């Protein structure tokens, strides 16, 4: 039987997105622990899987991939279960656009420059750079505004059913919401708050992102 392996830390947003895709497809997988806080992603064993020193890395049937979006698209195409990409080119372009926004703008603003300095740095005994957070807030606000605009009146980013875009956005917005700055920004984004409520009812989310 072929093994499905995700290398990474359960707290990582991108590891979570990949595992959410596997859960939505109903695919059993093994999470091979790579401790983010201990810096194991920069050790030789992990650099052999991911030369850029990031997570996740993924293996299935002897095929190795890194880059969360590429892994998620592979999962959607290879495994049976509900389609996680829309059937139309317009729908797929919307999903791909939202995934690109997460990677290029949403993650850096929300995680790198707000969640990490506000939550992780002090938890590890460091000093929060308040100016870094202040500077990131307009970008995080624009992220929420744009994904809200792209969601429109739909229940999910790809339309009526959950898509890879929803699974890419969710861990990022969840961590953003765990900061006072994110909570305030989300108060001004009611459609994203409502979407979060829908997403948080899913069994995949309960499996991969237990409330902390
Ligand atoms: N472009 C990569 C980004 C992955 C990434 O940034 N992962 C974070 C964890 S969520 C990481 O490995 N951070 C470690 C570091 O930057 O040192 C992907 O999409 O997989």
Q: Please work out whether the CB of residue 195 comes within 6 Å of at least one atom of ligand 1.
A: no
Cα separations (Å) of 123 from 71, 98, 128?
A: 31, 31, 10
* Tens-digit pLDDT string for the chain (212 aa): 579 999 999 999 999 999 999 999 999 999 999 999 999 999 999 999 999 999 999 999 999 999 999 999 999 999 999 999 999 999 999 999 999 999 999 999 999 999 999 999 999 999 999 999 999 999 999 999 999 999 999 999 999 999 999 999 999 999 999 999 999 999 999 999 999 999 999 999 999 997 76
Cα separation, 208 vs 179, whole angstroms? 20
All structural domains of the chain: 4-78 (3.40.30.10), 89-208 (1.20.1050.10)
The Å distance, Cα 164 to ligand 1 centre, comes to 18
Q: Where are the beta strands (DSSP E) in the chain?
A: 4-8, 30-33, 57-60, 63-66
Whose Cα sits closest to atom 1 in ligand 1?
67
Cα dist. 19→7, 15, 128, 138 in Å? 10, 6, 30, 30
| Nearest atom, ligand 1, residue 14 CA | 10
Residue nearest to ligand 1 atom 12, measured at CA: 54
- Per the confidence metrics, is the pTM higher than 0.95? yes
Ligand 1 neighbour 110 (Cβ under 6 A): no
CA of residue 75 to ligand 1 center, whole Å: 19
């Amino acid at each position: 039987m072929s093994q499905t392996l995700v290398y990474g830390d359960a707290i990582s947003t991108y590891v979570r997105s990949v595992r959410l895709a596997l859960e939505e497809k109903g695919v059993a997988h093994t999470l091979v622990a790579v401790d983010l806080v201990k810096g194991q992603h920069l050790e030789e064993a992990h650099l052999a899987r991911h030369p850029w020193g990031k997570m996740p890395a993924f293996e299935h049937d002897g095929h190795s991939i890194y880059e969360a979006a590429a892994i998620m698209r592979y999962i959607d195409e290879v495994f049976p279960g509900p389609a996680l990409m829309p059937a139309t080119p317009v729908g797929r372009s919307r999903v791909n656009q939202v995934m690109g926004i997460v990677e290029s703008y949403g993650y850096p603003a929300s995680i790198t420059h707000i969640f990490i300095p506000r939550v992780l740095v002090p938890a590890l005994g460091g000093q929060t750079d308040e100016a870094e957070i202040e500077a990131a807030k307009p970008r995080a606000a624009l992220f929420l505004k744009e994904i809200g605009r792209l969601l429109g009146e739909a229940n999910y980013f790809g339309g009526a059913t959950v898509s890879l875009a929803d699974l890419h956005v969710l861990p990022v917005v969840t961590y953003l919401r765990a900061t006072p700055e994110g909570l305030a920004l989300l108060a001004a984004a009611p459609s994203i708050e409502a979407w979060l409520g829908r997403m948080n009812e899913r069994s995949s989310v309960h499996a991969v992102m237990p409330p902390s």
